[in-house]
C-alpha cells in the first residue's frame, strides 16, 4: 500500500499547477515595451501593404518605438467589430459606407473627411492645375479599379463584362453580405451595363446572369483570391492591387482590365480613440505622405497623390482619368448614399409593414435564379 503523500508535497503540486495555469494570463510577447501602440483595423487585402507601410513608418523619427496591432478581414465584418467595441485607432476600410456606419456607431467623428487636410496636410478639394489628389474625394487613401484575374493565357478570351456571362464561365466573387470587394464588384457589373448604354432594368438582368455564373462566394476579397489561385472557377473579379499581388507572387494567372471598369476608392479614418494618440495621428499623416503613398503604389495601388500618381501611372493600364473611369457618382449623383441601399439592401427588414422592399436588392437577384439550386 502506498504511503500517503505528505502534505507539503500536495501543496507544492497545487502551487506549481496553479502557476503553470497562471502562465495563461501572461502577456503575449516579450518584446521591448513600445512607446505607443497603434491599433489598425482594415479590409482583407491590406495585410502585405500595411506590413510594408508600418515598417517604413517605424524607421522614421515619428515612428520610432511605435508598435502596431493589425486586424484584417472582410470589410463589413471589420466594420461591425469596431462598432461593437474592437480596439481601433486607424480604420482603413473598403468603401465609404463602412466609415459612415462607424460614424453612426459613434466610433469615428463625423468630420472624418477633413482629417486628410488637417492631419495629412493634403487638400483633396482642390481641382484643376492646383489639384493635389487624383480625384476630389477627401478621406480616400488608395484608389484602384475593378479587375478580372484569369488563368494564364486567358483561354476563355475574356475582355469585358459581357464575356463573363458566356457559357462555361465560372466566376469567383466574394459574398456581398460581408465583403467590401463584393460591393465594388457588383456595383461595377451594374455600372458596366449603364456605360454601354443599357438602362436600369437591363443592367439588373445582367446582374442576375452575373450572379448565376458564380461558383464560389468566399467571405472576403483575399479569401476569394485564395480560392481562385487554388483552382476554383476560371475568372476572379477583384481589386486591381490584389490581382497584381497574385501575379507578382508568381501564380499562374493573368490580369485582364475590363474595357468598362470602375473606380475603387478606399477610405481611411482616425477613430475617436486614434485622435487622442499622437502616434496614430503621425501614422495617419504618413499614409498620405509621399513615402507612404509610394509604398502603396509599389504594391499595386493607384496613389491618390498626383505627384506619386504621375510617377507611377505608366505601370497601370489606361482608362484612369475622371472622364473615362466611372465611379459611384456616375450611377447616381448621391453616390453610395443611393447605390448602397439600391443594390445591397437586405431583404429582411425588421420594421413592421415594410417587409416587401420596392427596391430590388442583391438578395432578391439570388432568389430569382435560385429555383433549382441546392
Residue numbers of the site for another protein (CB under 8 A)?
4, 17, 20-26, 28-29, 39, 44, 47-48, 69-74, 76-77, 79-81, 83-87, 101, 175, 177-178, 214-220, 222-223, 225-227, 229-232, 245-246, 249, 346-348, 350, 352, 355, 363, 366-367, 369-370, 373-374
Q: Which is nearer to another protein, 299 or 304 (CB)?
A: 299
Q: Which is nearer to another protein, 128 or 167 (CB)?
A: 167
For residues 104 and 194, give the distance between their C-alpha atoms in angstroms, rounded to a whole number: 32
Nearest one of 108, 105, 125 to 116, comparing CA atoms: 125
Q: Which is nearer to another protein, 68 or 161 (CB)?
A: 68
Q: How far is the CB of 7 from another protein (least distance, A)?
A: 11
**236 beta partners:** 149, 172
Q: Which is nearer to another protein, 22 or 318 (CB)?
A: 22
Q: Which is nearer to another protein, 84 or 199 (CB)?
A: 84
Q: How far is the CB of 284 from another protein (least distance, A)?
A: 19
Per-residue burial over 91-105, b if 16 or more Cβ lie within 10 Å, else e, is: bbbbbbbbbbbbeee
Q: Which is nearer to another protein, 58 or 306 (CB)?
A: 58
Q: How far is the CB of 298 from another protein (least distance, A)?
A: 17
Q: How far is the CB of 235 from another protein (least distance, A)?
A: 14
For helices 278-288 and 290-298, the axis angle rounded to 10 degrees is 60
For residues 370 and 199, give the distance between their C-alpha atoms in angstroms, rounded to a whole number: 24
Strand extents, DSSP E, 140-294: 140-151, 171-172, 214-216, 235-239, 253-256, 263-270
Total residue count of the chain as it appears in this document = 374
Per-residue burial over 134-157, b if 16 or more Cβ lie within 10 Å, else e, is: bbebbbbbbbbbbbbbbbeebebe
Neighbouring C-alpha atoms within 13 Å toward the C-beta of 191: 27
For residues 314 and 320, give the distance between their C-alpha atoms in angstroms, rounded to a whole number: 11
Cβ atoms of 262 and 192 closer than 8 Å: yes
Q: Which is nearer to another protein, 59 or 249 (CB)?
A: 249
Q: How far is the CB of 216 from another protein (least distance, A)?
A: 4
Q: How far is the CB of 190 from another protein (least distance, A)?
A: 18
For residues 339 and 331, give the distance between their C-alpha atoms in angstroms, rounded to a whole number: 8
Q: How far is the CB of 250 from another protein (least distance, A)?
A: 10
Amino acid at each position: 500500500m502506498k504511503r500517503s503523500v505528505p502534505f507539503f508535497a500536495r501543496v507544492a503540486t497545487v502551487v506549481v499547477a496553479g502557476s503553470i495555469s497562471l502562465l495563461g494570463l501572461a502577456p503575449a510577447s516579450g518584446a521591448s515595451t513600445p512607446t505607443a501602440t497603434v491599433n489598425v483595423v482594415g479590409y482583407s487585402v491590406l495585410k502585405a501593404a500595411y506590413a510594408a507601410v508600418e515598417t517604413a513608418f517605424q524607421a522614421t523619427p515619428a515612428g520610432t518605438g511605435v508598435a502596431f496591432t493589425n486586424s484584417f478581414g472582410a470589410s463589413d465584418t471589420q466594420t461591425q467589430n469596431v462598432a461593437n467595441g474592437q480596439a481601433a485607432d486607424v480604420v482603413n476600410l473598403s468603401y465609404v459606407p463602412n466609415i459612415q456606419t462607424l460614424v453612426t456607431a459613434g466610433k469615428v467623428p463625423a468630420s472624418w473627411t477633413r482629417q486628410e487636410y488637417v492631419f495629412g496636410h493634403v487638400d483633396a478639394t482642390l481641382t484643376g492645375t492646383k489639384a493635389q489628389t487624383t480625384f476630389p474625394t477627401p478621406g480616400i487613401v488608395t484608389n484602384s479599379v475593378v479587375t478580372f484575374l484569369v488563368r494564364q493565357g486567358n483561354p476563355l478570351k475574356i475582355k469585358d463584362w459581357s464575356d463573363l456571362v458566356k457559357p462555361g464561365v465560372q466566376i469567383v466573387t466574394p459574398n456581398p453580405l460581408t465583403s467590401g470587394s463584393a460591393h465594388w464588384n457588383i456595383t461595377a457589373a451594374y455600372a458596366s451595363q449603364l456605360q454601354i448604354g443599357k438602362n436600369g432594368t437591363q443592367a439588373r438582368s445582367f446582374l442576375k446572369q452575373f450572379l448565376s455564373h458564380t461558383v464560389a462566394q468566399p467571405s472576403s476579397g483575399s479569401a476569394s483570391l485564395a480560392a481562385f489561385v487554388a483552382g476554383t472557377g476560371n475568372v476572379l473579379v477583384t481589386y486591381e492591387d490584389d490581382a497584381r499581388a497574385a501575379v507578382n507572387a508568381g501564380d499562374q494567372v493573368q490580369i485582364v482590365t475590363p474595357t468598362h471598369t470602375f473606380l475603387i476608392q478606399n477610405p481611411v479614418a482616425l477613430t475617436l480613440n486614434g485622435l487622442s494618440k499622437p502616434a496614430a495621428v503621425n501614422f495617419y499623416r504618413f499614409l498620405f505622405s509621399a513615402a507612404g503613398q509610394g509604398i502603396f503604389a509599389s504594391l499595386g495601388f493607384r496613389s491618390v497623390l498626383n505627384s506619386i500618381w504621375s510617377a507611377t501611372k505608366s505601370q497601370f493600364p489606361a482608362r484612369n482619368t475622371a472622364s473615362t473611369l466611372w465611379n459611384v457618382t456616375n450611377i447616381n449623383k448621391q453616390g453610395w448614399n443611393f447605390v448602397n441601399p439600391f443594390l445591397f439592401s437586405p431583404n429582411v427588414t425588421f420594421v413592421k409593414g415594410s417587409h416587401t422592399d420596392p427596391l430590388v436588392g442583391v438578395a432578391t437577384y439570388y432568389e430569382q435564379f435560385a429555383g433549382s439550386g441546392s
